[in-house]
Structure 1
Amino acid sequence: MSELPALDKPRRGPHFYLGLAFFISLLVLLVIGLIKLNAWLEDEQQAPVQDIVISGERTFIDDQKIQRLIKKTQPGSFFELDVNQTHQTVEDMPWVYRSSVRKRWPNGLEVFVVEQQPAAIWNGDMLLNQFGDAFDAQISDADLNSKITLPYLYGPGGSEQTALQGYRNMQSLLETSDLYIVEMFLSERFAWNVQLNNGIKLNLGRTEFIDRLQRFVDLLPLISQQKRQVDYVDLRYDTGLAVGWKTLDKAA
């Protein structure tokens, strides 16, 4: 048998090693570039969030407070900013009901807010929104006088929505007489007491309070004909009512 000729190994000339050195150098430069790019992205001085734009109808929300809070809780670069966490931070603010947050290239942040709509002051130190949910926010006397008028509602814990709905039902009935509720008290036994803007206090009891309030509205013209000032009206009767008159001291 004839032997096969031995295959010669390919020679690796200087061009091969030159190419290999170039390839390795390219990889090293790429790794160094990625490390520097990552450091740059994490450096807030290189890519800080500079422009925070707040939008949405706002009466009580302070834009500067939102901006300061975002910068405090998200001090990193634009690329490192956590949108979900920022969204939760904004929604946790007292006057914010809902919000959305999105980045805007190259260094901006857009924040859209839906403000809480205060419907009443609850137990003297909280507020109720339009859905009867209590939220802890401060409202100044100046705002109450200039921006909004709110009734004072009082009741046991857990009765917020019941109290607000009862107030709305009664207020819609009183509007025909140009009266409005200043304060409303809902007792532990769910008995209703209200004070009107004319100073009259109404005791409506636990049941059929709307019908009893209607009775008061119907008889108000007759009561108003009296020369004495009304202090309170007790409507906890199947028919009729009891009127308490102000004394001279109270009337003064």
Structure 2
Amino acid sequence: MKTTRPVESRSASEPSAWRARLLALLGLTLFGATASAVWLFGYWEPRLLPILVIEVQGELHHHSSELLQQTISERLHGGILTADLADLKSAAEALPWVGHASLRRVWPDRLQVRVEEHRPLARWNGDGLVTADGIVFHPLSRTIPAGLPLLEGDDKRAPEVAKRYQRWRDDLMLVGHLIQSLSVDPRGDWRVGLVMGTELRLGTGSVDERLARFISSAQQLEAAGRPLVVDLRYSNGFAVKWAPDASPQARANSDRSKRSGNRG
């Protein structure tokens, strides 16, 4: 009764303690083996299964395939099985002119990269370019094509501005005019600059109808002289500022189309 119970309790707990120690040791061993296997695979895979060829597909006008290959090579880690294609895709699309890139592995040692470049519709705010879908990008200035029209506005409105430009460009071409610039300010005030040197002020509302009003009178205005500014911000007419060399008689005949109304 004095000492038997403590001795029996201690001897009964010993197998449980040893079992816990064995399980912990086994867990550590398995963890170490797994970590070693992962390290060995990561070390040997790029050496045994390296990517030897980076094949670039697609039309590249502003970024040579050599530049794209260099960019991919510098970002490439791992072999054909472990290369991070998502990271390489991001690296390719970070190049200013690259709109979309897709990559795939081609066994045993080839990485295929297909690229679609942005197709610029116009210059944007002087230092950028914009696509027909309103995507704004900023390439190096030396790669910006010459002769593109200028679109201006907040970047958030780029899709709207690009859409209006394409529609108005086609409408104005029917009467022999080309758009040199198109802008919308923070108040929503639209202006169109024509290649011939005329500025159309369309205001903030009913801009499509106001442009149509100019188009319907374009031939009459040209016959009258050289307009510098055509202010269409009237409800039912427009005002014209003429170049100094316009004929006074021509101006008088053209002024018959000017009507009074509220501007907006």
Please indicate the TM-score interval, normalised by the length of the shorter structure: 0.7 to 0.9
Tell me which residue corresponds to 1:67.
Answer: 69
1:121 equivalent to 2:123? Answer yes
Distance 2:183 2:46 in 1: 56
1:75 & 1:83 partners in 2: Cα distance?
10
Q: CA deviation at 1:222?
A: 1.2
Q: State how far apart, in whole Å, the 2-side matches of 1:209 and 1:178 are.
A: 20
Please list the CA deviations of residues 176-231 of structure 1 after superposition, one character each: whole Å capped at 9, or x if unmatched.
Answer: 012121111101111111101111111111111111111111111111112x4221
Q: 1:191 aligns with which of 176, 189, 192?
A: 189
Match of 1:159 in 2: 157
Q: How far apart, in 2, do the equivalents of 1:38 and 1:244 lie? A: 74
Q: Pairwise mapping of residues 80-229 of structure 1 onto structure 2 (< 5 A)?
A: 80-138=82-140, 140=142, 144-145=145-146, 149-226=147-224, 228-229=225-226
Q: Report the TM-score when normalising by structure 2.
A: 0.70
Q: Deviations over 1:89-145 (max 9, x none)?
A: 21222222222111222322100112212122211112222211222223547x624
CA contact 1:49–1:109 (8 Å) conserved in 2 = yes
Provide the C-alpha distance between the structure 2 equivalents of 1:77 and 1:51, rounded to a whole number of angstroms. Answer: 11
Q: Distance in 2 between matches of 1:79 and 1:237?
A: 67
Is residue 2:35 matched to residue 1:41? no
SS at match of 2:105: strand
SS in structure 2 of the partner of residue 189 of structure 1: coil
For these two proteins, the number of residue pairs brought into alignment is: 208
Distance 1:86 1:157, change over 3 A: closer
| TM-score normalised per structure 1 | 0.73
Equivalent AA in structure 2 for residue 218 of structure 1: S
In structure 2, relative to structure 1, the CA distance for the partners of 1:74 and 1:38 (3 Å cut) is closer
Question: 2:187 aligns to what SS in structure 1?
Answer: coil
Q: Match for residue 227 of structure 2?
A: 230
Say which of 236, 241, 246 aligns to 1:244. 241
Unaligned runs of 5+ in 2: 1-37, 246-264
- Change in Cα spacing, 1:39 to 1:205, as seen in structure 2 (3 Å) is closer
- Partner SS, residue 158 of structure 1: helix
Contact 1:119 1:150 (C-alpha < 8 Å) held by counterparts: yes
Asked if 1 retains the 8 angstrom alpha-carbon contact of 2:132 and 2:163, the reply is no
Over residues 57-92 of structure 1, what are the superposed CA-to-partner deviations in whole Å (9 max), with x where a residue is unaligned?
332232111111111111554444222221222122
Map Cα deviations across residues 148-184 of structure 1 (whole Å, 9 max, x no partner): x532111134211221122122112112012121111
| Structure ranking higher in helix proportion | 2
CA distance, structure 2, for counterparts of residue 246 and residue 138 of structure 1? 38
**Cα distance in 1, alignment partners of residues 172 and 89 from structure 2:** 42
In 2 relative to 1, CA 155–35 (structure 1 residues): closer, same or farther, beyond 3 Å?
Answer: closer
Letter in 2 for 1:83: L
Distance 1:212 1:35 in 2: 70
> Aligned AA for 2:192?
V
Mind listing any 5+ residue stretches in structure 1 that lack a counterpart? 1-33
User: Considering only aligned residues, what root-mean-square deviation do their CA atoms show, in Å?
Assistant: 2.4
Q: Secondary structure at the match of 1:221?
A: helix
What is the percentage of aligned positions where both structures have the same residue?
28
Q: 1:168 to 1:41 in 2, by over 3 A?
A: same
Which amino acid in 1 is paired with 2:92?
V
